[in-house]
Chain A
Amino acid sequence: MKRRPWALGAVVAVVFLFLYAPIAWLAIASFNSSRSLSRISGFSLQWYEELADDSRVFGSLRLSLQLALSSAVIATVIGTLAAFGLRRAFPGRGLWTVLLSLPLVVPEVVMGVAMLGFFVKLAGVPLGFGALLFAHVAFSLSFVVVVVRSRVSGMDARMEEAAADLGASPFVVFRTVTLPLVAPAVVAGAAFAFLLSFDDVVISSYLTGVGSTTLPVFVYAQASKRGISPEIVALSTLMVTATALLLIIGVVVASWRARRAGSTAKLAG
């Protein structure tokens, strides 16, 4: 067979173009001096300046960050405990495992309806931060459990036995051996939960209250009400940049940790 390295390269280029052209366009348009999105007329920071003056943007950003942080912490704690709980054999473990990953496949629109019905209408949690927090913990929990569980179940139980054998009480075993070994997965689960919460539109849109709108919901509402304004484009560019930075930091930290451990396989596996 004839090898055509350029063909492969072309495919990759097309894929990247397809993925990143819209984002690149977004960034370029945000610095455009005209209001038009289809004609680039010059460089300007005016949309960013207008954004900086908009107090609603900061309100939403603060709410989104608070929400993402607190729901990630709560989901990570509960999810990690659940992942350890699923390690032991108990009646119905298989069913529990399936049930825990169900939210991963239920359509978000349905999840949103369910959350609104249960937390707000039935349990009486007020719309806004409270309802959002419950809902975000509920839907990001599954992701944390799945990520942490894969690490926990892949862990060699002999390692913990060795620690106990050397005189470590169950708590010390957990602190010195179990936790450090599952830590990468816990961190990954937490980051995942944070991003899920920070990105969510569909479920959150059911639960936002007056004056308490998350950033993605705010963007979506603005865009659907008034069309895509340059301020929204600038805001979107900022959000993409922040997310990309987080991702890059994550990758750098992970590879640094792996190098320090002396083996990528040991930590990733």
Chain B
Amino acid sequence: MTGFSPAEASTPDTFAPVEIGLHGVRKRFSDQVAVDGISLNVHEGEFFSVLGPSGCGKTTVLRMIAGFVDPDEGRIELDGNDMVGVPPYRRDVNTVFQSYALFPHMSVWDNVAYGLKRKKVRGAELEKRVGEHLELVRLAQFAKRRPAQLSGGQQQRVAIARALAAGPRLLLLDEPLGALDAKLRKELQIELMRIQREVGTTFLYVTHDQEEALVLSHRIAVMNAGKIEQVGYPEDVYERPATRFVAGFIGTSNILDAEVSGVDGGFVALTAPGAVNLRAKFAGGVSRGRKVAATVRPEKVHLFDEAAEPPTGWCVLRGVVQDVVYTGVSTQFVVGTPGGELVAFVQNAQRIDDAGAPGQPVRMAWDPEFTVLLESSDG
């Protein structure tokens, strides 16, 4: 799965050396391979997300790091020490479970104190640390309640406080907001970011929600079918997807089958049906005549009617408006072109009203900077 851009983003200099490293980790269950040779480095203090569709092996990765599942192959290193075979209770790693898994027979306070007590923290020190963590998640007034007396969002905060209070080197979060409604999710996303920045603990966050991953993370690993497709900063995986899967899974992508016709300056020239001046930034690995997929994000595409002229040097594609969907912030135009149906998002702030009617011929145009080349679907 090598794309045209490097699959691993360069190491950020702002983070300290690797805290957790996975090297060639593989896990098969009786009937299928759940994790198929994964290598990853997470840096100290990072908010790192693993993003992928349901069933791609995200939970299995977390469970191997926590120690509930042993990998069949590969190494899992925490601060350079191989963790494979070390039982969960001896790993400096704590988990926030999707189902919260709070202890129903203990108060909120006792839940948060649980990990500290296992570390033999007692007396005033225990009081202080539990109090701090209840403050951190803004639940100090609920200390005496049982988990069943809290709302879903409050229970989730208790789960976070409980896992953090134990003072882990690494916090694992398995879709912690998955069970909450959209509005509460948004609120808790902001909370999570604040908490992570405040405590500085490394977070390894699993989600299938691409927007959540983009909003929260320093870096993202995109997973599919047990493999990692791309690791990078949010803007990397969004703006420069390394594979067709990433382009399709994160946001919406327009994908055109094209052929390389030459390299011209810093750009690769491409031919595709109905396209004029189709170009992409040159990133190596292409040769004349090669079949590729040219992709561009819908919000990069501008629409021009017959009267207006796209800026010189832009890629242009002729088509006919087929559908117009008003979504509030923007309007989504579905345009039929010789290369298939493509989509353009036009901010309603700058919407040209007369470009809108279905059946109207338009030109889609974008800056070639935004064309991303991927391997062609047929090879």
Residues of A in contact with B (beta carbons under 8 Å apart): 156, 158-159, 161-169, 172, 176-177, 180-181, 261-263, 265-267
Query: B68, B101, B145: which has the most chain A beta carbons within 10 Å?
Result: B101
Q: Do B101 and A167 touch across chains, with their CB atoms under 8 A apart?
A: no
Across the interface, A263 reaches (CB within 8 A) one of B88, B102, B114, B149, namely B149
Contact across chains for A162 and B103 when beta carbons are under 8 A apart = yes
**What are 20 inter-chain pairs, A to B, with CB distance below 8 A?**
A158-B101, A161-B88, A161-B97, A162-B162, A163-B103, A163-B114, A164-B87, A164-B88, A165-B66, A165-B88, A165-B95, A168-B89, A168-B118, A180-B105, A181-B105, A261-B105, A262-B149, A263-B104, A266-B104, A267-B104
Kindly list chain A residues whose C-beta atoms are within 8 Å of the C-beta of B270.
none
Contact of B145 among A159, A181, A262 (CB under 8 A): A262
Contact across chains for B105 and A158 when beta carbons are under 8 A apart = no
Contacts of B166 in A (CB 8 A): 166-167
User: Would B146 and A159 count as touching, CB distance under 8 A?
Assistant: no
Interface residues of B in 160-174 (CB under 8 A from A): 162-163, 166
Whether B148 and A261, one on each chain, are in contact in the complex, defined by CB atoms closer than 8 angstroms, is yes
When A166-B118, A167-B89 are in contact, do A156 and B101 touch as well, CB less than 8 Å? Answer: yes
Distance in Å: Cβ of B120 to nearest Cβ of chain A: 10
Shortest Cβ distance from A253 into chain B, in angstroms? 15
Check if B146 sits within 8 Å of A263, measured CB to CB. Answer: yes
Which chain B residues lie closer than 8 Å to A164 at the CB level? 68, 87-89
B88 touches A262 (CB 8 A): no
CB proximity of A223 to chain B, nearest CB, Å: 46
What's the Cα separation between A164 and B94 when bound, in Å?
A: 9
CA distance A176 to B117 in the complex (A): 11
Contact (Cβ within 8 A) A263 B148: yes
Closest A residue by C-beta to B99: A158
The reply to whether the CB of B119 lies closer than 8 angstroms to some CB of chain A is: yes
Q: For the complex, what is the distance from the CA of A267 to the CA of B148, rounded to whole Å?
A: 11
Q: Mark B102-117, 1 if CB is under 8 A from A, else 0.
A: 1111000000001100
Partner of B163, one of A159, A166, A172: A166
B101–A161 CB distance below 8 A: yes
Complex A-B, nearest 3 residue pairs according to Cβ-Cβ distance, in ascending order: A167-B118, A263-B148, A166-B115
Contacts of A181 in B (CB 8 A): 104-105
Report A-chain residues with C-beta under 8 Å of the C-beta of B68: 161, 164-165
Q: How far is the CA of A172 from the CA of B87 in the complex (A)?
A: 14
Query: What is the CA–CA distance of A180 and B145 in the complex, to the nearest angstrom?
Result: 18
Inter-chain residue pair count (beta carbon < 8 A): 74
Collect the chain A residues with CB atoms within 8 Å of residue B87's CB. 164
- The interface residues of chain B lying within 8 Å CB-to-CB of A165 are 66, 68, 88-89, 93-95, 163
Give bound CA distance, A267 to B103, whole Å: 12
Task: Please give the distance in Å from A159's CB to the nearest CB on chain B.
Answer: 5
Partner of A162, one of B90, B93, B97, B146: B97
Smallest CB-CB separation from B93: which chain A residue? A165
Whole-angstrom distance between the Cβ of A13 and the nearest chain B Cβ? 38
Check if B103 sits within 8 Å of A177, measured CB to CB.
Answer: yes
Contact B88 A261 (CB under 8 A): no
Cα of A266 to Cα of B105 in the assembled complex, Å = 9
Enumerate chain B residues within 8 angstroms of A261, measured Cβ to Cβ.
104-105, 146, 148
B-side interface size class: 20 to 34
The smallest beta-carbon distance between B226 and chain A, in angstroms, is 22
Nearest residue (CB) in A for B120 is A167
* Contact across chains for B115 and A167 when beta carbons are under 8 A apart: yes
- Tell me which residues across on chain B come within 8 A of A168, comparing CB atoms: 89, 114, 118
Given the complex, which residues of A lie within 8 Å of B118, measured CB to CB? 166-168, 172
Residue numbers in A under 8 Å from B115 (CB-CB): 166-167
The smallest beta-carbon distance between A163 and chain B, in angstroms, is: 7
Chain A contacts of B119 at CB under 8 A?
Answer: 167
- CA of A177 to CA of B163 in the docked complex: distance in angstroms? 16
Residues from chain A with a CB closer than 8 A to the CB of B95 are: 161-162, 165
> When chains A and B are docked, how far (Å) is the Cα of A67 from the Cα of B46?
63
Complexed CA–CA distance, A156 and B100 (Å): 11
Give CA–CA (A182, B90) in the complex, Å.
26
Q: Which of B90, B94, B115, B118 has the most CB of A within 10 A?
A: B118
User: For B104, what are the chain A residues with a Cβ–Cβ distance below 8 Å?
Assistant: 159, 181, 261, 263, 266-267
Those of B6-23 within 8 Å (CB) of chain A: none
Contact A169-B105, Cβ < 8 Å, known A162-B97, A262-B148:
no
Residue on A with the closest CB to B91? A165
Q: Give chain A residues whose Cβ lies under 8 Å from the Cβ of B89.
A: 164-169
Return the chain A residue nearest B68 by Cβ.
A161
Chain B residues lying within 8 Å of A176, measured Cβ to Cβ, are 114
Which residues of chain B from 226 to 243 have a CB within 8 Å of any chain A CB? none
CA distance A64 to B169 in the complex (A): 58
How far apart are the CA atoms of A161 and B148 in the complex, in Å? Answer: 19
Residue of B66, B88, B94 with most chain A CB atoms under a 10 A cut-off: B88
Cβ < 8 Å to A, chain B residues 49-70: 66, 68
- Interface positions, chain B 32-84, Cβ under 8 Å from A, are 66, 68
Q: B94 near A166 (CB under 8 angstroms)?
A: yes
Q: In the assembly, what is the distance between CA of A164 and CA of B90, in Å?
A: 9
Please name the residue on chain B nearest to A184 by beta carbon: B105
- CB of A228, distance to nearest CB on chain B (Å): 48
0/1 interface trace, chain B 133-170, chain A, CB 8 Å (1 if under):
00000000000011011000000000000110010000
CB of A166 within 8 A of CB of B105, answer no
Cα(A168)–Cα(B114), bound, Å: 9
The residue on B at minimum CB distance from A257 is B105
- A166 partner residues in chain B, CB cutoff 8 A: 89, 94, 114-115, 118, 162-163, 166
Nearest chain A CB to B97 CB, angstrom units: 5
Give the distance in Å from the alpha carbon of A265 to the alpha carbon of B68 in the complex.
29
Minimum CB–CB distance for A129 against chain B, Å: 38
Expressed in whole angstroms, the Cα–Cα distance for A180 and B107 within the complex equals 13
| A163: B residues at CB distance < 8 A | 103, 114
- Looking at A156, A167, A172, A267, which has the most chain B CB atoms within 10 Å of its CB? A167
